[in-house]
Every structure is written in C-alpha cells, then in structure tokens.
Structure 1
Amino acid sequence: MVTAYLYAGQGTQHRGMGKDLYERFACFGEIFDEVCGDEQRPGALDFDLQRMCFEDPDGELSQTQYTQPCMTAVNVGITHILRERGLRPDYVCGLSLGEYAALEAAGVFTAREAVEVTAFRGWAMAQAAEGIPGAMIAVLGLEEGILGKCCEEASSLGIVSIANHNCPGQLVIGGEKAAVEKAALYAREAGAARCIPLAVSGPFHTSLMAPAGEKLDEYLGNMELGSMQIPVLFNCLGDENREGRSIRELLVRQLQSVVRMEAILRRLFALGVTEFVEIGPGKALTGFVRKTAKELGVRDYTTWSIETAEDVERYPGSLKEALGNRV
C-alpha cells in the first residue's frame, strides 16, 4: 500500500484542537512544551500555545498570526505520534500552511522550526494584509478559463486572481474586496453553481502578499534546512520539485501564487497512492481527494482523517503497529 499524508491548512482551526492528544500522548505534549516560551529570537512565540489552542479565551485563534503556529503544532504533533508507532508515509503534502507540517514530516524542518517559521509567516501575512480591504471567495462549478476571464474583467476595480485550485469544480479567487466581489458576480452570471465568501483575514496567495514574501525570504535565508527524507509535493508546482528549485524559493512563491492542490492529488493518484491520511483539524482535504478520485474514475483507494486521540487509535496502520510493539 502506498500512503500519502495530507496536512490541513488554515480555516479548519477550532477551540480545543489537540487537547485530548496533549493529554494522551507524551510525544505530542513535548512539541507544545518545547515551542512555548518567551525567548527573544525571530519567530519565537509570544503567547501561550496551549491556552490558545485548547481554550482560546479571547477568540483570537482565527487571527492568522495565531492560527498558523497553532495549526502547525497540532499537525506536527500528530505526525510524531504516528512516527513513534513506526508509521511513515511514502509522500507528503499540505494545503498552503499545511505544507510546513509536510516539510517537517520530510525532515526539512524540526518541529520547533516548523512552528516558529509559521508564526513568522502568519505575522508577515497579517502585516501585508493590514489596511487592504481583501477578500477570498470559493467559486463552485465553473471552469478555470472562464473564471480567469471573470477576474480579468473585474481587475479594473483592483487586484483579483485565482488563488486556489482545490479539486474538480472548486476554485478560490482572492484579492482586493471590490474586485473579488465583482469577479464573483461575473462568475455567477457565467454559470457558477455557488460563490461562497471565505472567513479569512487577508487576500492570501495573490500578488498582494509580495511584501510578506520578501520578509519570509529573508527569514528563511537565515535558516539551515534539513535534507528531504520523504518526497514532498509542493503547492506552487502541483508536483514534486523535479527541477531542483530551492525550498526557500518555493515557499516564498507559494505565498503569492496559486495553490495547486487538485494537481497534487492527481499526481498522487498517478504515483500509485491508495491510502490518503488527512492530518489535522477538519476533513476538507478528504473531500478534495474524493472529488478528484471521482473525476479520475478511481475507486480503489481509502481515506482517513486523524485529528483526535480516538482517530489515532482507530487508524488501522496505527493499531497494527501498536499491537506489534506489544508482542
């Protein structure tokens, strides 16, 4: 069986995420305990990670500068639970933010580095979005070419472009609010089934994130990245890094260009993946897998979502390894 780990991205966070895992698995708790603190270095967390994830008393978890390190800590922690049980995927990928947890799984980042770099990334993205009336809207049931023309027609009102190719029939546009809303209007007139505004705090994966890309480029330039031990499929490529571009370049590019999740899923099916394991809050990626499989006519595959301690114990691979370790 060929397995891929898919890491959840921003938008599925919720109060209480990771709490039962922290209480149940020591290796998960170690991730949280390690990155908490007030050390004065770029990217160091200046808030209580546990309190933010488990309680979110002030309703700040949805703010991108907090969402990103919190989601990454949960995603990375789950990876360590599975790793401790002897489980290792054949391929990894993640949706936008989730790409950093995928890179940790592959050995490029340490757990601490993954959390801290996404804390910095979240801060940089929030800074880039400040003062810009931005928006993102999911557009269902419209071809990419037609939606691209809708964006071109609306561009007289500001920057707007396709930001995500999630799965067959689901695209996301982003940019300046007036232009995005006008493009969505054109999309509905062109036959889109639905246009759904997304609860995000900025026009992510558009050219408006260029200032954040510059900051991230400088930050990553001061890091020594580990060698990749597991193949990663990158958002901005929709594929593996076949041309040998630097990971730093790909992560900077990812901030301000289209996330090609559908292309990644198509490639994973082409590589023979038959088991897709979504790691982190929510089941959005599982839905993307199923829609892509339907489009391709693929039936021989399985999906699993791992977010809670119960999910860990229910996952067959995890159970098998746990039983084997007791023999």
Structure 2
Amino acid sequence: MKIGFIYAGQGSQYVGMNQSFYDNYEQAKQLLNRINPSIKQLCFHGPIEELSKTSNTQPCMVTTAIIATKLLKQAGIEPIITCGLSLGEYSALYASGVFDEDTVLDLVNYRGQVMEEAVAGMKSKMVAVIGLQRELVLEAITKVSSGIVEVANYNCPGQIVIGGQIEAVEEASNYCKELGARRVIALNTSGPFHTSLLQQASERLKEKLETVHFQTMKIPVIFNSTATLLQENQSIPNLLEKQVMTSVYFEDSIYKMIDYGIDTIIEIGPGKVLSGFVKKINKEITCYQVEDKDSLEKTISLIKGDNEWNKEK
C-alpha cells in the first residue's frame, strides 16, 4: 500500500468542526487551547456566516488538517507524497515538514485576510463548467471580449471552474454551453480566486513569505500551479505567491500521484469533495477521508486492520 495525503480547501467548513477531536484527543485539545481562541469558537459555534469568511475559514480548516495529520502519524500512518487543493497546499506543506504549526497557522491567517481584502467590493463570479473538455473551455474563454475570465481550477474530468468579472464569466458561460457543456453552475464564493484579479493579494503574500522560515521538506509535495514536484529552478515562496492568482491543476496533481505509485489516498478535511474528484480521475484508487473521531478511527482500522488497531487502543 502506497499512501498519499490530499488536503481540502475552503468551502466544506461547517459549524462543529474539530469538536469531536477536541473532546476525544489530548493533542487536539492542547492545540485548540493554545492557538487563537477565536478559532475554537468559530469551529465549535460559528455562526456559519462568520466561519465562512475567507479570513476565518483558512485557519480553521488548517487546524483540522494539523490535528488529523498528527493523529494519523501517531497511529503509524504517513504519506509518501502529498498535495492539497488551494488552501490545502499549506496543509500539505505542514505535513511535509516545511512549516511548523504556528508558522502555517500564522501564514494562512494572513493569506485569508489579504485575499478577503483584495476582493472587497469586486464584482466577480465563479462557475463550475460541467461536461466540457478543457480545450473547449479555454476556447470559450478566448472568445470573451467583455472583461477578465480565466480558469481557476482543473478539478477532474468534466469539471472545470472559471472565474473573473461578472459579465466576462457570464459571456464565457454562454460560449461553454454553445460548445456542449452539460451545465454551468454558479458557485457561492466571495471572489474570483486563482485568477489574475488576485494580483494584489499575491503581492502582499510575497512580502509576508519573505519573513517566513521554510524548513527542509521531508515528504514530497505536488504544487497546485505546476502539478509537479519542486524543480531546481523553483522556490516554495515563489510557488505560493503564484498559486493565489493562477490555476489550480488538481486533476493533473492526482495523475502525478498515480505516476508516483500511489494506490491509496486519504483526504483530510471536512467533506468528501476531493475524494469525489479522485474517483472521477481514477476509479482504481482506494480513498479514505478523515475529518473527525469516527472517520479517523474508521480509516485507521481499515488501513491497519481491525485486530491490530483494537489491540493498540
């Protein structure tokens, strides 16, 4: 069994997240009591409107990732390679040893704030294009004359997210339908993330990254903006700066994992969105998901075997 970890991005948060970890595991309790108390309050009690603000969601989601990663490691389950979707890339870098807990939480707190501020008052839209090949989505975008619209996410075969200025996205959506898209679904997002309209956030993030200490990577990470491992001519700060305003190649990243020999993937974070993408990319991959006590213990039992896990408990 060759295991890869994938980490969820924002969008699947819910009120009550991390509560069962806190109630059942000392490591989780210690972390949630030590870090900014507003994170525990938002995770446990919301309200969902506050939890869903970009500046709040990001540290809350990464807190889940830290706890789950530590508990899996404690059970003897670690990845040989990892990646994340958007925000999830920061959790992947934590798992790889590049960031410690405090650094990654401070960084995503800042990232969330600058992203939120960059899109404040911006008239934008994001939509998921269903059932259209990426070449045709790109063709539709090239026809747009009313403003900026770009591919934000290559999620899986038949699902691509585009974002940008409202009129431009609507124009591109119409072209996508003309070219054969089955559906175009508007997404509930606060801004056109992973497009060039986030340049301001990218520039501010660059300044922050210049102050961050990057530790040695112990586990390989596949990066969003390239769908490759770190190359000799690249740096992690540069890739993170770029990531916030360029396309996320999640589908390609999973293919890279498969090329690496991965046959089992554990999705870490609320919900099973990424597992759904993986199944559309390759049905042969075994997927598990960890977001709370029950899903953690189920995953450990299935991977290590019921008898072995129960004996250790």
Structure 2 length as normaliser, TM-score? 0.95
Distance 1:277 1:58 in 2: 26
CA contact (8 A) 1:18 1:53 kept: yes
Aligned AA (2:249): R
Instruction: Give the corresponding residue for 1:302.
Output: 286
Instruction: Give the corresponding residue for 2:120.
Output: 130
Aligned AA (2:247): V
Distance 2:176 2:76 in 1: 48
Distance 2:217 2:184 in 1: 38
CA contact (8 A) 2:93 2:99 kept: yes
RMSD: 1.5
Q: Percent identity?
A: 39
Indicate the SS of the match to 1:204.
coil
Distance 1:249 1:33 in 2: 33
Structure 2 CA distance for partners of 1:275 and 1:244, relative to 1, 3 Å: farther
Indicate the SS of the match to 1:60.
helix
CA contact (8 A) 1:188 1:195 kept: yes
CA contact (8 A) 2:15 2:48 kept: no
CA contact (8 A) 2:86 2:224 kept: yes
CA contact (8 A) 1:313 1:319 kept: no
Aligned AA (1:171): I
Distance 1:157 1:125 in 2: 24
Shift of 1:33: 2.1
Instruction: Give the corresponding residue for 1:158.
Output: 147
Shift of 1:31: 2.2
Aligned AA (1:235): N
Structure 2 CA distance for partners of 1:58 and 1:239, relative to 1, 3 Å: closer
Instruction: Give the corresponding residue for 1:118.
Output: 108
Instruction: Give the corresponding residue for 1:79.
Output: 69
Distance 1:176 1:99 in 2: 26
Distance 1:322 1:218 in 2: 46
Where does the alignment leave 5 or more consecutive residues of structure 2 unmatched? none
Structure 1 range deviating more: 141-150 or 89-98: 141-150
Q: After TM superposition, where is structure 1 displaced by more than 6 Å over at least 4 residues in a row?
A: none
Aligned AA (1:304): Y
Instruction: Give the corresponding residue for 1:259.
Output: 248
Instruction: Give the corresponding residue for 2:168.
Output: 179
- 1:1-327 pair list within 5 angstroms: 1-36=1-36, 48-57=38-47, 59-154=49-144, 156-294=145-283, 299=284, 301-315=285-299, 316-317=302-303, 322-323=309-310, 325=312
Shift of 1:243: 3.1
Question: What is the total number of aligned residue pairs between the two structures?
Answer: 310
Structure 1 length as normaliser, TM-score? 0.91
Aligned AA (1:30): Q
Shift of 1:30: 2.2
CA contact (8 A) 1:165 1:261 kept: yes
CA contact (8 A) 2:14 2:48 kept: no
CA contact (8 A) 1:129 1:202 kept: yes
Instruction: Give the corresponding residue for 1:45.
Output: none
Distance 1:236 1:59 in 2: 29
Deviations 1:75-109 (A, max 9, x none): 11111111122221111100000000110000011
Structure 2 CA distance for partners of 1:59 and 1:319, relative to 1, 3 Å: farther
Aligned AA (2:36): C
Deviations 1:236-260 (A, max 9, x none): 0112113351100000110011100
CA contact (8 A) 1:82 1:318 kept: no
